[in-house]
A and B are shown apart, each in its own frame.
Chain A
Amino acid sequence: MITKKIYLYFPKSETEKPIVYRLVKEFDLIVNIFRAKVTPEEEGYLSLEVTGSQENIDQAYAFLGGFDVVIQAGSKSVRWDEGRCAQCGACVVHCPTQALSIVDRKTRAIAFCEDNCVECLACVAACPFGACSSAF
């Protein structure tokens, strides 16, 4: 069993289709949805983690590829830009999961641990330097 993070963009034509349901039903995947959003233009975004066998995940990717969906495999939809991070630490208290934390007490360096991130977006609001951003 392996776990993969993906996030998807659905144009208007695809938002009606029960894609997640079929991921569970046909490919036997355990789906953990972090965040979903449908805009007023009825485009949709979905950020999730899927757990299953490599074979089933490969098939699921192929299945998703059959839709008019943009697939971003391998990352969450929250990004931390190390180059833009000023290492101030302002985000640390707003992050509920310690995904953003002080990793070296001596130099007070900050790092982002993507695995811990639950995509609450608190850091996007709290970071003055635009280092944390959301894909949607």
Chain B
Amino acid sequence: MIKTYAEINQKIAAGKAVVLTAEEVIDYVDKRGLEAAAKEVDVVTTATFGPMCSSGCFLNFGHSTPKMRISEAWINDVSAYCGVAAVDVYMGATQLRHNDPANMYYPGEFRYGGGHVIEDLVAGKKLQLFGLSYGTDDYPRREIRTLFDINDLNQAIMVNPRNCYQNYNVAINTSDKRIHTYLGILKARMRNMTYSSAGQLSPLLNDPFYETIGVGTSIWLAGARGMVYAQGTQHCSLVERGADGVPVEGAGTLALTGNMKEMLPEFVRGASFKGYGVSLALGVGIPIPILNPEILRRTTVRDRDIMACVIDYSVDYPEKTGKVLARYNYEQLRSGEVELDGKKVPVTSLSSYNKALRICDLLKAEIEGGRFLLSEPSQRLPLNQGMKPLNITGPAR
């Protein structure tokens, strides 16, 4: 039994598509059996909500009178990259606010930065643009200060080089000192662990070999109709894989884009990691078309089938030793406590399962309502690709 994208889209357009979330599909296939279920189910919705640092947006301001070729710009005091064109800038999620003391008084608080600018834009708030220029014959203005909101912009397009890590590390701290990381605060002597994955709901864990999610796939990006525009940076598919090809570490990633004017504020949230910096938490939903029983079977992956590696963020992560302290599956991690070296260690998440579930449901409703059609990828993500380190070369100084 094989379905095509076109057949599934016809059913969606007719309001007749059978759509299940990545959670619902598990029991459904258990009850109905794989072959029967593959005939019945057309789409499975997957999702994730969590901090995704490699995010940002291109903004176009339009031209002032007289015109200005902005060469340096700050939005709410957060610097934006201006090496594009006259009034195009890129705001990165992890950019700190001007004069943020960072970790000068450790651990820094990082209350506001690029991620928060992006959140405020989507929330429709008024922001301040301050720009400088050296002035040219055709763009004479040298300075600008004005208030704007997202509706005043010509375009506000989110362009995220790396989102939706297929799987991720579990962080722990074996040292005697509390440490502050992008996976949260880690207490000394292994007194807590944190992870960041939606597990059985996560898009690339439901499609471990990138059979349906590829360049050109239509996605739900914080409520907007977005797409996968490239492999994500650091996409590294050549990794150890467990049962059914599910990777036990980071592995695949996606580069995503979407129109910020269509986004829902609930799913675009600035984040402050004490002692680390700022970031952006994003909600992403990706539909998986059930083209054949094999694809369906992979969407029935459960938390207990997905393993993740515990890495010591006090030594092994910064020093890149590659050492793995232990492995657990997401069912164990989600229980809130695991045992390591005979010690019970509490576990929490940075990724929100609750919001991921909501996104699965929202996307399901859009597809059922005939408002979201699927698109066939124009390119597959690389399957056997490794990742290069940065070697320090050149003449010694």
Say yes or no: A126 contacts B49, CB within 8 Å.
no
- Could you tell me the dominant secondary structure of chain A's interface residues? loop
Q: How many positions in chain B have a CB within 8 Å of any CB in the partner chain?
A: 29
A 112-132 contacts with B by CB, 8 A: 125-126, 128-130
Q: Are A93 and B111 in contact (CB under 8 A)?
A: no
**Which of chain A's residues have a CB closer than 8 A to the CB of B349?**
88-90
Assuming A86-B49, A88-B349, A90-B184, is B271 touching A128 (CB within 8 A)? yes
- Which of A90, A109, A126, A128 sits near B354, CB closer than 8 Å? A109
Q: Which residues of A contact B313 (CB under 8 A)?
A: none
A48 interfacial contact with B, CB 8 Å: no
Closest A residue to B119 using CB positions: A129
In the assembled complex, the CB of A107 is this many whole angstroms from the nearest CB of chain B, namely 5
Q: Using a CB-CB cutoff of 8 Å, which residues 222-281 of chain B contact chain A? A: 269-274, 279, 281
Name the residue on B nearest A88 (C-beta): B352
Most buried by B among A86, A91, A125, A129: A86
Contact partner of A108 (CB less than 8 A), chosen from B111, B271, B279, B354, is B354
A79-118 at interface with B (beta carbon < 8 Å): 86-94, 102, 107-110
Given contacts A86-B49, A125-B274, A128-B273, contact A93 B357 (CB under 8 A): no
* A62 CA to B348 CA, complexed, in Å: 45
Q: Which residues of the other chain, B, contact A92 by a CB distance below 8 angstroms?
A: 336, 346, 348
Of residues 42 through 86 on chain A, the ones whose CB sits less than 8 Å from some CB of chain B are: 86
Question: With A129-B281, A130-B111 as given contacts, are A90 and B350 in contact (CB-CB < 8 Å)?
Answer: yes
Do A128 and B281 contact each other (CB < 8 Å), given the known contacts A93-B192, A107-B354? yes
Task: Determine whether the beta carbon of A128 is less than 8 Å from that of B357.
Answer: no
Contact indicator B352/A128 (Cβ below 8 Å)? no
**Assembly CA distance A102 to B51 (angstroms):** 20
Complex: how many Å from CA A129 to CA B51?
10
In the complex, what residues of A have CB within 8 A of residue B271's CB?
128-129
B272 and A128: CB pair below 8 A? yes
Tell me which residues across on chain B come within 8 A of A107, comparing CB atoms. 353-354, 357
| Contact flag A90-B348 (CB < 8 Å), given A128-B272, A130-B272 | yes
In the bound assembly, the distance between CA atoms of A93 and B193 in angstroms comes to 9
Q: What's the Cα separation between A108 and B348 when bound, in Å?
A: 11
Q: Are B355 and A87 in contact (CB under 8 A)?
A: yes
Contacts of A110 in B (CB 8 A): 354
Which residues of chain B in 35-79 are interfacial with respect to chain A, using CB atoms and an 8 Å cutoff? Answer: 49-51
Is A108's CB under 8 angstroms from B350's CB?
no
Q: In the docked arrangement, what's the CA distance between A107 and B194, Å?
A: 19
CB-nearest residue of chain A to B186: A93
* C-alpha spacing A92/B193, complex, angstroms: 12
Q: Does B185 sit within 8 A of A, measured CB to CB?
A: yes
- Which residues of A are found within 8 Å of B355, using beta-carbon distances? 86-87
Query: In the complex, A76 Cα to B347 Cα: how many Å?
Result: 28
Interface assignment of B351: CB less than 8 Å from any CB of chain A:
yes
Question: How far is it, in angstroms, between the C-alpha of A110 and the C-alpha of B350 when the chains are bound?
Answer: 13
Q: Other CB < 8 Å A-B pairs besides A86-B355, A89-B352, 20 of them? A: A86-B49, A86-B269, A86-B281, A88-B350, A88-B351, A90-B184, A90-B350, A93-B348, A94-B192, A107-B354, A108-B357, A125-B274, A126-B185, A126-B274, A128-B272, A128-B273, A128-B279, A128-B281, A129-B269, A129-B281
22 A-B pairs, CB-CB below 8 angstroms?
A86-B49, A86-B269, A86-B281, A86-B355, A87-B355, A88-B281, A88-B351, A89-B349, A89-B352, A92-B336, A92-B346, A92-B348, A93-B192, A93-B347, A93-B348, A108-B334, A108-B352, A108-B357, A110-B354, A128-B51, A128-B272, A129-B281
Which A residues lie at the B interface, using CB under 8 A? 86-94, 102, 107-110, 125-126, 128-130
